[in-house]
Amino acid sequence: MIRWVANISMLFTEVPLMARFERAARVGFRYVEYLFPYELDLDEVAGELRRHGLEQVLFNLPAGDWAAGERGIAIDPSRRAAFREGVERAMEAALRLGVRRVNCLVGRRPVDVPEDELRACLVDNLRHAADRLGRHGIVLLVEPVNIHDVPGYYLTTTRQAVALLDEVARDNVQIQYDAYHMQIMEGNLTQTLRTHLSRIGHIQIADVPGRHQPGTGEIRYPFVLRALHEAGYGGWVSLEYVPLGSTEASLREAAAAGLDALGLPHPG
């Protein structure tokens, strides 16, 4: 059965972040994730997780100046030191919160830097992160992102991600497969998931267009996720969408669109 995750950076935004743990548990989630832990009181987060019987399964490595539009720094040779400092911060937070998967957004392609330098920097940084995190049994994820939402992003397709993983050559590096991004960039979701299932460590979903809840767009998520389950995927599927209406109403709508049969938590 699918292990459903609430991404509380995007869901339950009707209340402050620290109140979203309770909201997620109230409707039946047992797993949560959010973008970044670095400005949070980790003791308070750990307390909320314990209080509501939740497990946090994921967060991102530091990704640069998010408000200014940065979406990762692993690709930038001028940011090597900052990237490695970020790995240490992520490792500390993961150990304190019991998180066993950390995602790397590789970033936008810097201008006027030769391709071979970008690639060498990225591979070296990912090997470093994988080795540091792997000492503690933590999996490093790498996420392809669509270039319409994030122009200039370096890693944009599953094929590119698989090639990158082959080059990095570390057993604890897998793909974070965001179906919203990959529907935009390549389509063919079901076959891609089946083909590369052994390389995929985490899945996130939202519908296209608009990045709203499943059932509002063109993706037949009941079909895709049922095929994923039948193929033997035993990992997490995260709801990382922008709700149309309240979060609770969006969960009911997604359930009514066919995800109820796959165990999606939602208000009664």
> To which H or E segment does residue 235 belong?
none
End-to-end C-alpha distance for the chain, whole angstroms: 20
Helix, strand, coil percentages (3-state) for the chain, rounded to 5, are: 45, 15, 40
Q: How far is CA 90 from the centre of its chain?
A: 15
Q: Which long-range contacts (CB under 8 A, 24 or more apart) does 115-119 make?
A: 117/77, 118/75, 118/77, 118/154
Nearest by Cα to 160 from 128, 205, 115, 129: 115
108's tokens? 């936008």
Is 240 in the active site? yes
Check 33, 48, 143, 253 and give the catalytic one. Answer: 143
Is 22 in the active site? no
| Pairwise CA distance, residues 17 & 87, whole Å | 24
Burial class of residue 35 in the structure, from the number of CB atoms within 10 Å of its CB (0-12 exposed, 13-18 middle, 19+ buried): middle
| Pairwise CA distance, residues 195 & 206, whole Å | 21
Check 33, 48, 240, 253 and give the catalytic one. Answer: 240
| Pairwise CA distance, residues 263 & 253, whole Å | 14
Phi, psi dihedrals of residue 237, rounded to the nearest 5°: -125, 115
Active site residue ranges: 143, 240
